[in-house]
Homo-oligomer: A and B are copies of this chain.
């Protein structure tokens, strides 16, 4: 197993050198061709997926997981549309991000280049296969995809469309490879392909992230939890606060940029909290003591609740004495994803933006906007909650790095 995975890694590495210098037109043509193939071969893709779904159902997979695994004509159309969308985005490769001349005449430039080989390890959504490969291809990277065993037939079929499209565009098919060994041992080996994988992106739950932290020896960008807060300042527009909170919690509760916790300034809590309860109809509220004094019916929020990303119609609520306490609460329980303040007070807004340590801070807007599409990146391969390399939504630019190009006319160092 180890040998064949390394052989696959070497193929990906070789392909990455070719695709790194490929022109935009060839890459776009491969993306459009792949989109067409996915639509043209929908019957075949759906039957491969049906085999995965049957097998998984037979082995007792739950309904939510089955839903994630399942494809449909509509989902295939969305995958094709995503590939076409990526084709329409500007190519990040070749941008000169900066440049200057040194006193000795050396001309220094920082040029944007692909990372090389991007390894993606993920769970059972088959659309990640085409989404991730498409973004990597457009940014000039080779991709090694390691999906779950439950989706293996679907992934094989999708990858074959992508590889055929690469070939038709005159690009190396090995720029997209699927790791077919879905054992745990192969996953660990995959995270340790030093010298082959330049960037590992895990997309999945806490156990996958923990395994990457523990086992990976290649550089990784962690797409971690989102325990996101909405803080309603004493100078908030209360109607706006209620509307944003309801949106941040309820518009799509199962995603990482949904809010999990509400903090309300003590001075306005008696007014705000009952209105929040009405607006958050269907959401289970868990409150601290001061919250429960105003909303006596609700359950107690424990320390653990404040630290939990519910990904559900559940919300922890605390009353805080001032902005500093809100910032301290977020520092203690937040995961550095997205944090919002609702206020009309300029100083409070600026302090919140400066002092809250998160990938994204928002003033008077829903946390749900922290997403590659919504922020204007066009698409995203994940949302980084670490600080190295990329923070927040990762788009095409975040799949590149800067290389120094230094031009001289014979300079030597004194």
Q: Could you tell me which A residues sit within 8 Å of B by CB distance? A: 17, 20-21, 100, 102, 106, 108, 111, 113, 115-116, 194, 198-199, 213-214, 217, 219-222, 237, 240, 243-244, 246-248, 251, 331, 349, 353-355, 357-366, 368-370, 374-376, 386-389, 391-392, 401-413
Which residues on B sit within 8 Å (CB–CB) of A358?
403
Question: When the two chains form the complex, which single residue of B116, B366, B391 contacts A413, counting CB atoms closer than 8 Å?
Answer: B366
Does the CB pair B361–A406 fall under 8 Å?
A: yes
Given contacts A198-B387, A244-B412, 4 further A-B contacts (CB under 8 A): A106-B365, A360-B404, A366-B411, A391-B401
A137 CB, min distance to chain B CBs, angstroms: 17
Interface centre among A21, A251, A388, A408, by most chain B C-beta atoms within 10 angstroms, is A388
Q: Once the chains are docked, how many angstroms separate the CA of A247 from the CA of B104?
A: 15
Question: Separation in Å of the A122 CB from the closest CB of chain B?
Answer: 19
Option from B21, B244, B401, B403 in Cβ contact (under 8 Å) with A388:
B401
- Within the complex, the shortest CB–CB distance from A72 to chain B, in Å, comes to 23
Interface centre among A198, A365, A374, A407 (most CB of B within 10 A): A365
Q: Across the interface, which residues of B come within 8 angstroms of A410, CB to CB?
A: 237, 240, 243-244, 364-365
Q: A115-B388, A375-B108, A413-B368 are in contact. Are A359 and B408 (CB under 8 A)?
A: no
Residues in B whose Cβ lies below 8 Å from that of A387: 115-116, 198-199, 219, 401
Counting every copy of the chain, the complex holds 2
Q: Which of B102, B349, B357 contacts A375 (CB 8 A)?
A: B102
State whether A366 and B403 are in contact (beta carbons under 8 Å apart), knowing that A108-B375, A376-B102, A386-B219 are contacts in the complex: no
B404 touches A359 (CB 8 A): yes
**A342 and chain B: residue at smallest CB distance:** B410
- Chain B residues whose C-beta falls within 8 Å of the C-beta of A353 in the assembled complex: 111, 405
In whole angstroms, how far apart are the Cα atoms of A100 and B377 in the complex?
11
Minimum Cβ distance to chain B for residue A331 (Å): 7
CB distance from A387 to the nearest CB of B (A): 4
